Structure 1
Amino acid sequence: MLAAAPATKVDINEAPLTPVTDFSFIPVADPVLGSDEKEALCEVIDSGWITMGERVQRFEEDLAKIHAVDETIAVNSCTAGLHLILHALGIGPGDEVLVPSLTFVATINCVLYVGAKPVLVDIESLDNPLMSLEEAESKCTERTRAIILVHYAGYLADLPAWKEFADRRGLLLIEDAAHATGLKEVGTYSVAAALSFYGNKNMTTAEGGAIIASDPDLRDRMRKMRGHGLTSGTFQRHNGSGPGYDMIMLGFNFRMDELRAAIGIVQLKNLEAWNLKRRQLTNLYRALLEEYVPEVVVPFDENTTSSYHIMPVILPGDVDRSRVIKSLRDAGIQTTIHYPPAHLFSYYRERLPSVKLPKTEEYSERELTLPLFPRLNDAHVERVTQALAKSVHCE
């Protein structure tokens, strides 16, 4: 696995981290939004220009600097980003795309949107719940065109190994980096990567996403495709390029608006500090879980590069997870599950019958996601851990 990034010198106290004041309930995720975001939204409204314009361009530039790339392409969701990548690469009917079942359904749906067939792949292990390279190799056929890696929970897959596999097989490597915003490794080995800024992500624009791609020709196609395949946008025409335009390819309405971009510009200023706080909280969880309830396992090697998007743990096999969830809820602590196995959903079972992924199924039966967000403090983490230990030991 890729080594963890060296400790940053960012001062987390510089970011607006107002502590949670409602100690009666700890949510599993909580966006950091405040007066700066409100002011940014008011400036957009006062400007009279609310669709894709100068702020979207500024947001793309600021995001590119954080990821150390030439350009990024803002879109209205990570789902749109993945769809756009697949479409722009020409993946379609007759093609197969390797994708994990341990993911949000959008990853798989995007393959179906372009008419291709998703081939669902098991995870490597309970300790490393990322798509198995060995099983991916066994599921390749002459129709396999691409791989969509998912950096589950913010933990990077072994990108050099997947790149070698993709090159050897002549496949296109794509990253679903919805959980990994802020990690500079994203997009460095793949043909393209999609990011998410949904409300529960490490930074948010409410809805929104972005694409990283190294090929300028591919970026140009996707920029046109996100706006109906037109040669110019409304803002460019408004600024004097003339009222005329042409449609040169089939496109979509995947644009980001100025309001979301304005929030994103503010959020990006704090992303590095927030990710550092997530790392510190995760390390504290690891230490306290080992102390209070060592039978609960935290997946991933602690040195794996991560944005620390969520805090998944694996309950002992003989523990009733539904009872633990209720017990924690009664204690004022929200939890959730990341994710139910996609291949067991009714829609996919009808279209992809007989898929059996035993490691994914066991992981999904035992996984529980604990609260993790920048406004948590050490006392909150200790409260969650002690409540979890009490619930597990009362089984």
Structure 2
Amino acid sequence: MKIPFSLPVIDADVIAEMHDTLTNTGWLTSGPKVQALEKELELFIGGGNALCVNSWTSGAMLVLRWFGVGPGDEVIIPSYTYSATALCVMNLGATPVMVDVKEDLTIDANKMRMAVTSKTKAVIPVDLGGYPCDYDAIKEVVNAPEIKELFISDNEKQEMLGRILILSDSAHSLGATYKGVPCGLVSDVTVFSFHSVKNITTGEGGGIVVNLPEPFDNAKELAFLRVLSLNGQNKSAFEKNQIGGWKYDIIDQGLKINMPDLCATVGLAQIRKYKNELLPDRKKIYNYYVDALSSYNWAIIPPFKEGSTESSYHLFLLRISDISEEQRDEMIRVISEKEVGVNVHYIPMPMLTLFKNKGYKMADYPVTYDLYKNEISLPVYNGLTEEKLHFVVDTVVAAYKTISGN
């Protein structure tokens, strides 16, 4: 039985929506479908101001650019995340400062506090696998008087906020809640990913949600971010294409990172049924793994629910107790021979050539390495049948027996 690690939802609803885009709207780049997806995103999370862009990475760069982050500045990030969390900082000439994580895979606020300097402009917590970070602890750090005293404002936006910006890397956590509050409304700015393997996909894409405190006018800031996403142009191509709408201005140095309608179409068809159909189905798959694997003393179940904090069920980050990195790799080889797609999330950045060459050392992040060395991500996506889930679990169990000799 061949089971890939991930498959996007391409069903009749997606096809019908795409047919409408191609035959009725007369528009392919940013237009009515992007606008509709932004409204659906706002409706789903119950507030905020949303802007769709062409990737998580470019969306995070846009927000940091808006906040004035650049050369000489520092941004605190966890060491256990995909490299995009660091690259969005580096692409602006700033320095990512990595800190270790906790056992629940999320950034350690105490380590974050120790990493703050007068150069720190932002922190990017990562909801790894879809499980939210401890945002109360993060907010306690950035709002601590001694931390705020260190903050140096270099522009009007920084002066208005008066502290370190909290930019959530919620690439995995659309549909998650932190203490009952939907991800998207927990921090200053949130960026979601709509990449092909995510819970909602546009093929490539991302969504920015602005939720800044007073005295910011969130609608006004979002409007400016929209301009920045279009090369600093104060009209979209769709607006310019309307009869008599040709005149425009370039009001700032922006980026070209808008989402096309072709991409938004796929996500639009999916998000309309995400709450009532797609997300509950992912939760059911997740719970199957929890029930099936909890009886094995070697299986470490990933965090997914505590009180009113709940995952988006994006990744099932299974960990195998008391095995080495080499044994984990051998387990993956054995599982792959049975044509079951598994993955590892993620190779820690200090182990990657780019970051090693910049002086980051894995020894500085012991919890990150301990979490990584025995982690195997199991397939979680809509359409996985109970028969397939049973086969995945049996394959994983057999692979453990093979490498452990038990």
Q: TM-score, with normalisation over the residues of structure 2?
A: 0.87
Match of 1:145 in 2: 121
Q: Given that residues 160 and 189 in structure 1 are in contact (C-alpha distance below 8 angstroms), is that contact kept between their aligned partners in structure 2? A: no
Q: Secondary structure at the match of 1:227?
A: coil
* Of 29, 45, 57, the match for 1:79: 57
- CA distance, structure 1, for counterparts of residue 302 and residue 258 of structure 2: 36
Q: Given that residues 53 and 206 in structure 2 are in contact (C-alpha distance below 8 angstroms), is that contact kept between their aligned partners in structure 1? A: yes
Q: Secondary structure at the match of 1:391?
A: helix
Gaps of 5+ in 2: 148-162, 212-217
Match of 2:155 in 1: none
Residue 13 of structure 2 aligns to which amino acid in structure 1?
A: D
- CA distance, structure 2, for counterparts of residue 310 and residue 94 of structure 1: 35
User: Residue 196 in 1 paired to residue 193 in 2?
Assistant: yes
- 1:42-81 pair list within 5 angstroms: 42-46=19-23, 47-81=25-59
Match of 2:89 in 1: 111
- CA distance, structure 2, for counterparts of residue 302 and residue 229 of structure 1: 42
Match of 1:35 in 2: 12
Match of 1:298 in 2: 301
CA shift, 1:382, in A, is: 2.1
User: Residue 281 in 1 paired to residue 285 in 2?
Assistant: yes
Residue 144 of structure 1 aligns to which amino acid in structure 2?
A: T
Residue 68 of structure 2 aligns to which amino acid in structure 1?
A: G
CA shift, 1:385, in A, is: 1.5
* Of 248, 254, 257, the match for 1:254: 257
80-89 vs 43-52, greater mean Cα deviation: 43-52
Match of 2:166 in 1: 173
- CA distance, structure 2, for counterparts of residue 321 and residue 354 of structure 1: 22
Match of 1:313 in 2: 318
- CA distance, structure 1, for counterparts of residue 12 and residue 284 of structure 2: 26
* Of 263, 268, 279, the match for 1:265: 268
User: Residue 323 in 1 paired to residue 334 in 2?
Assistant: no
Q: Given that residues 304 and 311 in structure 2 are in contact (C-alpha distance below 8 angstroms), is that contact kept between their aligned partners in structure 1? A: no
- CA distance, structure 1, for counterparts of residue 388 and residue 236 of structure 2: 47
* Of 369, 373, 380, the match for 2:377: 369
Q: Secondary structure at the match of 1:72?
A: strand
Distance 1:335 1:224, change over 3 A: same
Residue 89 of structure 2 aligns to which amino acid in structure 1?
A: V
- CA distance, structure 2, for counterparts of residue 106 and residue 328 of structure 1: 28
90-99 vs 370-379, greater mean Cα deviation: 370-379
347-356 vs 362-371, greater mean Cα deviation: 347-356
Deviations 1:140-170 (CA, angstroms, capped at 9, x unpaired): 1121111001100000111222122222232
Pairs aligned (count): 369
Q: Secondary structure at the match of 1:239?
A: coil
Q: Given that residues 351 and 361 in structure 2 are in contact (C-alpha distance below 8 angstroms), is that contact kept between their aligned partners in structure 1? A: no
- 1:122-137 pair list within 5 angstroms: 122-125=100-103, 128-137=104-113
Q: Secondary structure at the match of 2:336?
A: helix
Q: Secondary structure at the match of 2:313?
A: coil
Q: Secondary structure at the match of 2:300?
A: coil
Q: Given that residues 305 and 311 in structure 2 are in contact (C-alpha distance below 8 angstroms), is that contact kept between their aligned partners in structure 1? A: no
CA shift, 1:393, in A, is: 1.9
Q: Secondary structure at the match of 1:149?
A: coil
Match of 1:384 in 2: 392
CA shift, 1:48, in A, is: 2.7
- CA distance, structure 1, for counterparts of residue 267 and residue 287 of structure 2: 27
* Of 329, 345, 350, the match for 2:352: 345
CA shift, 1:70, in A, is: 4.2
Q: Given that residues 101 and 368 in structure 2 are in contact (C-alpha distance below 8 angstroms), is that contact kept between their aligned partners in structure 1? A: yes
Q: Given that residues 48 and 185 in structure 2 are in contact (C-alpha distance below 8 angstroms), is that contact kept between their aligned partners in structure 1? A: no
CA shift, 1:241, in A, is: 5.2
Matched-pair identity in %: 28
- CA distance, structure 2, for counterparts of residue 114 and residue 269 of structure 1: 35
Q: TM-score, with normalisation over the residues of structure 1?
A: 0.90
Residue 155 of structure 1 aligns to which amino acid in structure 2?
A: Y
CA shift, 1:381, in A, is: 2.0
Residue 368 of structure 1 aligns to which amino acid in structure 2?
A: I
Match of 1:20 in 2: none
Q: Given that residues 120 and 343 in structure 1 are in contact (C-alpha distance below 8 angstroms), is that contact kept between their aligned partners in structure 2? A: no
User: Residue 360 in 1 paired to residue 368 in 2?
Assistant: yes
CA shift, 1:354, in A, is: 4.0
Match of 2:233 in 1: 230
Moved >6 Å (runs of 4+): none
Gaps of 5+ in 1: 1-23
CA shift, 1:257, in A, is: 0.7
CA shift, 1:136, in A, is: 0.9
Q: Given that residues 304 and 310 in structure 2 are in contact (C-alpha distance below 8 angstroms), is that contact kept between their aligned partners in structure 1? A: no
CA shift, 1:308, in A, is: 0.5
